[in-house]
Amino acid sequence: MEKYIERVLNSVKEKDKYEKEFLQAVDEVYTSLDSVIKLHPEFEKFAILERMAEPERFISFRVPWVDDRGNIVVNRGYRVQFSSLIGPYKGGLRFHESVNQSIIKFLGFEQVFKNALTGLPIGGGKGGSDFNPKGKSDNEIMRFCQSFMTELQHHIGQDVDVPAGDIGVGAREIGYLFGQYKRIKDAYEGGVLTGKGLSYGGSLARTEATGYGLIYFMQEMLKNNCDQTFAEKTVTISGSGNVAIYAAEKVLQLGAKVIAMSDSNGCIYDEDGIDLGLIKEIKEVRRGRIKEYIERNPSAKYFESKDGNFPIWDIKTDIALPCATQNELNLDSAKKLVANGVIAIGEGANMPTCKDAIEYFLANNVLVAPAKAANAGGVATSAIEMSQNSMRYYYTFEEVDAKLESIMKNIFYSCKNAAEKYNLGRNYVAGANIAAFLKLAQAMIEQGVV
Ligand code: NDP
């Protein structure tokens, strides 16, 4: 490996040694930049790799709130403002008990590259809390969100930092967060949060955007590889949240059959094709567990997840879409998928596939649509939501959807062109890293030592 990359990676490993996920994300990007660094020795002089691995700012704060029994609960809130090189910090908030500094930094680092790929003026940030929303009442969620925003509002603004949703943060949470922000600031600043409800400044097609965008990217990828399509293909999708549900909706529109979906407890397998309406009712309306699906569809099967093992990857499928969480698809699962004849992987979640699993897929000629590029449709549509808020105007669903589709196609060709230029064949994972990195490096050099 190029000496400069190795030196910076060793220094990041030394400084951030306890941040497992963050180290994994930096390692995955930097080890794919060998050929670029060789061609651009000036990047070392400008300390590009060192600067990209260090967030501009990391904020951690106390979030005290009162539960329904009157107990005071204290959670920890975070916001990483990773890079404002090409626009205001932009990236979602995650509420999940696993959230810690390493997870927020890995997500923020990935977000910088992803946002650069969209071609839109957005920098990278991420935030969240170790608050677990499961089983909480609406009032508890509201009180938590209000307390979280009471601190976060010091650090955000529509030209400064614009949060959105992620795991555990959907339209309900964004509504409570926005209401509290507006109350404290005493002004309607529509572009300060995205993923807003349609009644107060949200964009049509934002709910669908990440899932739809993933499939638009994959459609282009399949077309460019032997003119393949989704029609008649079987598809398995991990997760049953925002990304998974709308990826499923789009592949169904394209004539594919979704045969399995999951949540953190287990997966359902329905060889006749999943009834997406029922999944929406269970997950979006009732906020229930995916297991309830088999009560209404007794011919479907349910497999429990055990010891961090995700049974959904044992199922034979043409296309697999990991849309739940990081590191959910490991090397063992990759081997099973390849043995079962999988042709393409589409990463809807952030960093869902372990590095050795990605290498195994690529070595076995399986197409991989990398998260940074393939799930960028959500943030791209958030940027479209921000422009609508600035214009005080709304686009129709069809207008936003058409912009999303064209952005996702452009992102695919950025990845493809970079992969081809650096002789990496169909390695779109490296292609995405290189295309984003070159854009950011250029902006860094032009802006001086900042
Ligand atoms: P949601 O909270 O809507 O859904 C998450 C889904 O993943 C749920 O089905 C959840 O199951 C499952 N899940 C979460 N954590 C785990 C875990 N540790 N193990 C197994 N399953 C888990 O989140 P989103 O759909 O918004 O996000 C999913 C992924 O997509 C994340 O990686 C996120 O960062 C990424 N992403 C999201 C974007 C967006 O616009 N929403 C944009 C780009 C990326 P359960 O209900 O049991 O918790």
Contact between residue 358 and residue 367 where contact means Cβ atoms under 8 Å apart: no
Contact between residue 147 and residue 65 where contact means Cβ atoms under 8 Å apart: yes
Distance separating alpha carbons of residues 184 and 326, to the nearest angstrom:
35
Confidence category of residue 32, pLDDT binned at 50, 70, 90: very high
Give the number of the atom of ligand 1 that is nearest the alpha carbon of residue 305: 20
Question: Do β-strands 124-129 and 72-83 pair in parallel, antiparallel, or remain unpaired?
Answer: antiparallel
Which among 53, 28, 79, 117 has a CA at the least distance from the CA of 379? 117
Confidence category of residue 156, pLDDT binned at 50, 70, 90: very high
Distance separating alpha carbons of residues 266 and 315, to the nearest angstrom:
13
For position 427, what pLDDT does the model report? 98
Which among 387, 401, 397 has a CA at the least distance from the CA of 191? 387
- Pocket test of ligand 1: the residue of 264, 285, 289 to mutate, having most ligand atoms within 8 Å of its CB, is 264
Contact between residue 196 and residue 175 where contact means Cβ atoms under 8 Å apart: yes
Question: For the chain, give me the number of helices (H) and strands (E)?
Answer: 18, 12
* Cα torsion angle, 390, 432, 36, 423, sign: negative
The domain 59-189: what is its CATH number? Answer: 3.40.50.10860
Confidence category of residue 2, pLDDT binned at 50, 70, 90: confident
pLDDT at 178 over 90: yes
Distance separating alpha carbons of residues 248 and 211, to the nearest angstrom:
8
Among residues of the chain, what percentage have pLDDT more than 90?
98
pLDDT at 331 over 90: yes
For position 330, what pLDDT does the model report? 97
Q: Is 88 helix (H, G, I), strand (E, B) or coil?
A: coil
Type of residue found at 289: R
Which among 152, 178, 187, 2 has a CA at the least distance from the CA of 77? 152
Tokens of residue 323, six digits: 């849309």
Q: What is the mean pLDDT of residues 17-21?
A: 97
For position 1, what pLDDT does the model report? 72
Cβ of 93 less than 6 Å from ligand 1: no
Q: Is 395 helix (H, G, I), strand (E, B) or coil?
A: coil
For position 295, what pLDDT does the model report? 95
pLDDT at 285 over 80: yes
Ligand 1, atom 46: closest residue by C-alpha = 263
Mean pLDDT of all residues in the chain? 97
For position 63, what pLDDT does the model report? 98
Q: Residues with Cβ < 8 Å from 446, sequence gap 6 or more?
A: none
For position 309, what pLDDT does the model report? 84
Cβ of 242 less than 6 Å from ligand 1: yes
Ligand 1, atom 17: closest residue by C-alpha = 264
Cβ of 322 less than 6 Å from ligand 1: no
Distance separating alpha carbons of residues 12 and 23, to the nearest angstrom:
7
Beta bridge partners of 258: 235
Ligand 1 centroid to 348 CA: how many Å?
9
Residues taking part in catalysis: 126
Question: pLDDT tens digit string along 68-100?
Answer: 999 999 999 999 999 999 999 999 999 999 999
Among residues of the chain, what percentage have pLDDT more than 70?
100
- Domain 59-189 identical in fold to domain 207-374: yes
Q: Provide the Cα torsion 148, 80, 355, 32; round to 10°.
A: 160
Q: What is the mean pLDDT of residues 260-281?
A: 97
pLDDT at 307 over 90: no
Name the residue ranges covered by the structural domains of the chain.
59-189, 207-374
Cβ of 239 less than 6 Å from ligand 1: yes
pLDDT at 450 over 90: no
Q: What is the mean pLDDT of residues 166-187?
A: 97
For position 171, what pLDDT does the model report? 96
Beta bridge partners of 309: 306
Ligand 1 centroid to 114 CA: how many Å?
17
Ligand 1, atom 34: closest residue by C-alpha = 350
Distance separating alpha carbons of residues 183 and 173, to the nearest angstrom:
16
Confidence category of residue 101, pLDDT binned at 50, 70, 90: very high
Cβ of 251 less than 6 Å from ligand 1: no
Contact between residue 125 and residue 82 where contact means Cβ atoms under 8 Å apart: yes
Contact between residue 63 and residue 76 where contact means Cβ atoms under 8 Å apart: yes
Q: What is the mean pLDDT of residues 352-359?
A: 98
Contact between residue 438 and residue 36 where contact means Cβ atoms under 8 Å apart: yes
Confidence category of residue 306, pLDDT binned at 50, 70, 90: confident
Burial annotation 146-185 (CB, 10 A radius, 16+ → b, else e): bbbbbebbebbbbeebbbbbbbbbbbbbbbbbbebbbeee
The domain 207-374: what is its CATH number? Answer: 3.40.50.720
